[in-house]
Chains A and B, each alone.
Chain A
Amino acid sequence: MLRKLLIGTALATSFAFSAHAADVKEVQMLHWWTSGGEAAALNVLKQDLAKEGYAWKDVPVAGGGGDAAMTALKAMVAAGNYPTASQMLGYTVLDYAAAGVMGDLTETAKKEGWDKSVPAALQKFSVYDGKWVAAPVNVHSVNWLWINKAVMDKIGGTEPKTFDEFIALLDKAKAAGVIPLALGGQNWQEATMFDSVVLSTGGPEFYKKAMNDLDDESLKSDTMKKSFDNLAKLVTYVDPNFSGRDWNLATAMVIKGDALVQVMGDWAKGEFHAANKTPGTDFLCYRFPGTDGTVVYNSDMFGMFNVPDDRKAAQVALATATLSKSFQSAFNVVKGSVPARTDVPDTDFDACGKKGIADLKKANEGGTLFGSLAQGYGAPPAVANAYKDVISKFVHGQIKTSDEAVTELVKAIDDAK
């Protein structure tokens, strides 16, 4: 009797579940865009999906940051409990795709024409084995200078076009008693700046060979040594208290006029906006001297997991909404980045954003759109972190000469490969 009852209940529940499962109108999303502008930007997407009848559910992450989210994702995937999508960076997408847990969005991609509109360099990370596995949300680029205009006017500076002109500009600031270069002495910030220095010193071809192809000859070359020497030159212009400083505090130094310039990715623009500053009148955005026409990028992606069939419709809706022109424009205006497809109109963007969009288009057509090694788009995390180690040790004096730095870099990268 009892057994019959149990079986009956089990059957009833399973029917109930399958009936329920036919329409899961819910998007489960793992991300770490929880603060201010980023959360507001993401709200646009939530509303777009709500219009189509899909509810949005955040997967909670303790601790908040990207590292905690990635640890949480690893645990979820290991337990076979995939979210609809997760915010992911570069090689992480490929790692998960290689583990066979990503979904397949190729049909949607064909229908929406992603193959043509998304830059080829980005497709390296969003397409695995011929299948679309992720939807890129934005393109950040790291080779920017952010300059306080009031300070620039005071010292009578003009846009530096070469590395030497940049040094001359920093000298002027130093003479005027302003901190010339705002830098946060954390390894990723130092390495992000070094990405630009390598590009400026060696040019696009050299950057690609050394920082994306990890070619031994280029890494050992005199050009690389020169890059380290140039980095050492730049580091002489920072204030003595730079070590360990967060990137947004360094940006704040430029905003307040304590420092002249920061070398940072375009997420720094969000800080200027939050302080109600406008490009052109309060601050200036230039490409890092000697890198105009080339874009060193990183990109946020929504990795799409291989969810059960009943949740695939929601996933397709999410992916379509993510790469829709309206969302790409609305989101990136707020985030400070530029759209991940090249056919989005730039009408809503500010001067820096317009330049960013034009640069991206040019770089995509000219084949000068390269992944940032410091941001994990040049090589897998093991290599990228080994690179950051060497740069940071060089900046802080554990590695003393550029000769030693080059030797260490080659060794560290070989080790991590």
Chain B
Amino acid sequence: MIHNQTIIKERPAPSSSVGAIAWLRTNLFNGPINTIFTLIGLYILYLLVVPTVQWAFLNADWIGTTRDDCSREGACWVFINARFTQFIYGLYPREEIWRANIVFAGFFTLIAWLAIPRLPLKRWVAVFALVGFPIVAYVLLHGGYFDMPRVPTHRWGGLMLTLLLATVGMVGALPIGIVLALGRRSNMPIVKSFCVVFIEFWRGVPLITVLFMASVMLPLFLPSDMSVDRLVRALIGLTLFQSAYMAEVIRGGLQAIPKGQEEAAAALGMTYWKRMGLIVLPQALKMMIPGIVNTFISLFKDTTLVMIIGLFDLLGIVQAALADSRWLGFSLEGYVFAAFMFWIFCFSMSRYSQYLERKLHTGHKR
């Protein structure tokens, strides 16, 4: 006789092991110590977030033109609004700003083109970015050609100057860095020791002394009838400093390429420069991109130091605006704005570098 067996119906998992409660249990409240940590964390979060939101958004003043439009209960973003053009372009003449805008647009288009993997013609765009664009940018920004009035470099400033210093420093440092890195791996003892001394010297001293050196000692090094623009002096200092760091990144990339690659190229009868240019560097550069982006981020942050030798980069111009007697007492707003701008750039670059690292992390594992 067959009993009429009833099949127990599928039941949902206990409510304590699925859904939000389970998540809370495993991630926030598993055990007494973690519970204490969670509570402390929540308290810290409360202490930080509530006053910040109140200050920056709820009690903040956004509209107006003078400091009287600010209630002073929260942030006074009117100050940033009123000074925005200056923060971006420095003391660049208002009626010439369109020239700076064209350079900005070209700059960001080129960067985006090179950064997005799907877009074609990478090589030609890169060549234009490194050779053609700097000339176009210089002609546009500096003027003096095609009926455009000259804008002397001491009027350049703000975010524009920050980006300019970082990009020129980087583009200038890359070839010097490649030469130094190759020299450091060379078999020729004198070449090698020159490169080691050069790299270790720049890596051993703070950037600020390099900038002091560029601004105080460079005029002594040159013939007395030759004078160098202050911006150019800062650029020379930044480039030399950066090239040493770049050399070490490139050396790291070169070391990651198996020696067999170079030996195979030598066996095919290639000369040194062919081996490097066609076999080793193309493979190594690909692996160096994350490292290069990281050095670029630190260079981007380091450009703030030029304000100490009297250039008005983004931080320098904010600092100068804070000293304006019409807008005294808004240092917090100024710094928060500058910090936000720097943060956006650095954070997105570091995310991009992490993405590249994941994407390029193939093929060279043994």
Q: Are A and B part of the same complex?
A: no
